[in-house]
Copies of this chain bind each other. A is one copy, B any other.
Amino acid sequence: MDILDYVARRSELVNRALDVMLPGEDNAPQVLHEAMRYSVLPGGKRIRPVLAMAAAEAVGKTPDSVLPLAAALECVHAYSLIHDDLPAMDNDDLRRGKPTVHKVFGEAIAILAGDALLTLAFELLSSPETVRVYRPERVLVVIGELARAAGSHALVGGQAVDILSEGKQVDLKTVDYIVRAKTGALIRAALVCGAVLAGGNHEQVELLGRYGTDLGIMFQIKDDILDIEGDPAKMGKAACKDESRGKATYPGLLGPERAKEMIRGLVASSLEALRPFGDAARPLALLSRFVAERVH
């Protein structure tokens, strides 16, 4: 199995679903829907949706069985990027090689487009089409998991601590909190929600949650290493942004070598959690290596 090909095919599924599930640009208010689509389409690697689909496969379902969840995860991710990029937050001009939403549409519309995408995630998950396909009890568990992963103790909390820590001397414990809350929680939720929606049993959900926790931390450490060592042209954003704005990261605090050691440990631990799934989790195993070894 070629994992790049696997990711490309799964991303294509998500892209098509998002194109249909996001309101069209001709919907009023047009500029708001343009901004929402601008931020989500064509988009990045779709890691979270791909993970949710791979989790569904690990418990024996097809990837397209969790498409509304996959789309919802990407809406939450896109919303968090729009708000993170705002002048009052990270004040970024460039994202995925394009001007950020507030640069193109202005700050007010950027805030509102983020708000609308977060809201849309919950609309997609509770839509009548979803409810016809899945057991309502499971959909409610998924909504709860997603809300917690996006909430003040996870995604939003991590971003708050990240912003408050900027330019300050920050210890490892704080970096660990930021990584787990800001990045780890939503990646873990992608796995857990994919498994729950696809009918996984308690043990399967638990194991995929552990895999997701490892992968989330690994994903962020790799991101931070790429920020230091990566090729700005391939990244679609400036290099060494973290250092220049005084953001504390694992590689920044421990040095890149120890950070890479951490990644190797997390890959091993993530693969361990997949063992009981056998071949059904082969894509997830490859995804773990893919995340650890990507160059942008």
Chain A residues engaging chain B, CB cutoff 8 angstroms: 23, 27-29, 31-33, 36, 79, 83, 86, 88-89, 106-109, 111-112, 114-116, 118-120, 122-123, 125-128, 131, 136-137, 139-141, 143-144, 146-148, 150-153, 156-157, 159-161, 163-164, 177
Copies of chain A in the complex = 2
Return A59 CB to nearest CB of chain B, in Å: 21
Complex contact A160–B120 (CB within 8 A): no
Return A101 CB to nearest CB of chain B, in Å: 12
Secondary structure at chain A's binding surface: helix, strand, loop or mixed? helix
Complex contact A36–B152 (CB within 8 A): yes
Residue of B with least CB distance to A116:
B152
Q: Which of A146, A147, A160 has the most CB of B within 10 A?
A: A160
Residues from chain B with a CB closer than 8 A to the CB of A160 are 29, 31-32, 108-109, 112
User: Which of B27, B31, B115, B128 has a CB less than 8 Å from the CB of A153?
Assistant: B27
User: Which of B88, B112, B119 has a CB less than 8 Å from the CB of A147?
Assistant: B119
Complex contact A119–B164 (CB within 8 A): no
- Alpha-carbon separation in the docked complex, A141 to B79 (Å): 24
- Alpha-carbon separation in the docked complex, A107 to B36 (Å): 22
- Alpha-carbon separation in the docked complex, A151 to B139 (Å): 20
Can you list the 5 inter-chain pairs with the closest CB atoms, starting with the nearest?
A: A123-B147, A88-B107, A136-B136, A116-B152, A126-B144
**Given A122-B143, A143-B143 in contact, is the A152-B89 Cβ separation under 8 Å?**
no
